Amino acid sequence: MERDGRDVGFVGLGLMGAPMAANLLNAGWAVTAWNRSPGALDRFAGLGGGRVAGVEELRDIPVIIFMLPDLSYIEDAAAGLLTAWTAKPPAAGTAVVVMSSVSPAAVQEFGAAVDRASGGNAVVVDAPVSGGTQGAADGTLAIMAGASEGDFKRLQPLFAAMGSTVRRLGPLGAGSLAKACNQLIVGTTTAALAEAAELAERSGLDVAALYEVLAGGLAGSRVLDNVGPRLAARNYEPTGPAKFMHKDLSFVLESAAAVRSAVPMAAAGVELYAELLRQGLGDRDLAVVRQTISNLSDNTAAKTN
């Protein structure tokens, strides 16, 4: 099939992927999607998007975006695609864009696997995002790309349809490292805000009032603005499952070990979010880390009584 360069495949129509793919449609891209559950595909088709029964059917599309929970999911979904490319290589310049939060080292290995399977005709670009479901819906995501300068320039119009802050950080893997740094800040800041909320409330302070005054000083941040209201209200309806923060902070530890960089905050964060998972709270919103801290506080109080 003859392509005009405005065709894109999209794998994964979850909380983030669905609005991102919809924004591509709205920007004039012809988007063909695959998703494990058919309901999301039905809704996407209702917006004018295309659909396929298997990822391998996207083999002739020049750009294929993956937005799945982790690289293992991407590797499983892409297995048939790589087999098809091994039998018949894709057109030169085909791009596989990993927009999930993944390991910087592992995405480089995936890039090598795609290079081998495609006969050198396909390249992997990592371009994870930050901004949550609201940023995905508004098309205002921050996009952190790891790519050659040429590949990044070629993909910029695509990224511009989904994000308002788009930067190339370096070669493949650099985008994922930048996202790991982002998650280090978001995860530990959210945890600190949760600790402050629990300490304040147990001491008789109004958490919403505390956050209001903090927002006017040096402690003010986008994390406080976005997550603070959910922390104060104990609203844990998921905008993004908390379980992924443990995974992302683990990538920080992995990357830090490779360059011998001390990351004590990330190490503490990994332990805290591991406790969150042990408490069975991983499918709730990131703000549920406050409940984790509350449960730890209750356990501590019980041991001292």
Q: Is residue 257 part of a domain?
A: yes
Same domain, 92 and 197: no
Q: Is residue 145 part of a domain?
A: yes
Same domain, 72 and 149: yes
Q: Is residue 206 part of a domain?
A: yes
Residue-level pLDDT, tens digit, the chain, 305 residues: 334 568 999 999 999 999 999 999 999 999 999 999 999 999 999 999 999 999 999 999 999 999 999 999 999 999 999 999 999 999 999 999 999 999 999 999 999 999 999 999 999 999 999 999 999 999 999 999 999 999 999 999 999 999 999 999 999 999 999 999 999 999 999 999 999 999 999 999 999 999 999 999 999 999 999 999 999 999 999 988 999 999 999 999 999 999 999 999 999 999 999 999 999 999 999 999 999 999 999 988 777 76
Same domain, 226 and 166: no
- Final residue belonging to a domain, choices 172, 200, 221: 172
pLDDT value, residue 4: 53
Residues 192-201: contacts with CB within 8 Å, 24+ apart?
A: 193/223, 193/224, 193/227, 193/228, 193/231, 194/231, 194/287, 194/289, 194/290, 194/292, 194/293, 195/293, 197/231, 197/232, 197/290, 198/290, 198/293, 198/294, 198/297
pLDDT value, residue 304: 75
Q: Indicate which CATH number applies to the domain containing 139.
A: 3.40.50.720
Nearest Cα to Cα of residue 9 among 47, 40, 35, 27 = 35
Cα–Cα distance for residue pair 182/177, rounded to 1 Å: 9
Single pTM value for the model: 0.92
Same domain, 206 and 129: no
Choice among 153, 179, 243, 303 that is catalytic: 179
Same domain, 183 and 292: yes
Same domain, 96 and 182: no
Q: Is residue 13 part of a domain?
A: yes
DSSP 236: -
- 42-70 as b/e: b if 16+ CB within 10 A: eebeeeebbbbeebbbbbebbbbbbbbbb
pLDDT value, residue 2: 36
- Final residue belonging to a domain, choices 156, 172, 188: 172
Q: Is residue 2 part of a domain?
A: no
Same domain, 164 and 60: yes
- Final residue belonging to a domain, choices 137, 156, 172: 172
CA 274 centroid distance within chain: 19
Q: Is residue 283 part of a domain?
A: yes
- 153 an active-site residue? no
pLDDT value, residue 305: 62
Task: Determine the structural domain holding residue 226 and report its residue range.
Answer: 177-304
Phi, psi of 166 (to 5 degrees): -125, 125
Same domain, 45 and 137: yes
Same domain, 160 and 188: no
Same domain, 204 and 135: no
List strand residue ranges (DSSP E) for the chain, in order: 7-11, 30-34, 50-51, 63-66, 94-98, 122-126, 129-130, 141-146, 163-170
pLDDT value, residue 239: 87
Number of domains in the chain: 2
Which CA distances in Å does 14 have to 19, 69, 124? 8, 9, 21
Same domain, 14 and 152: yes
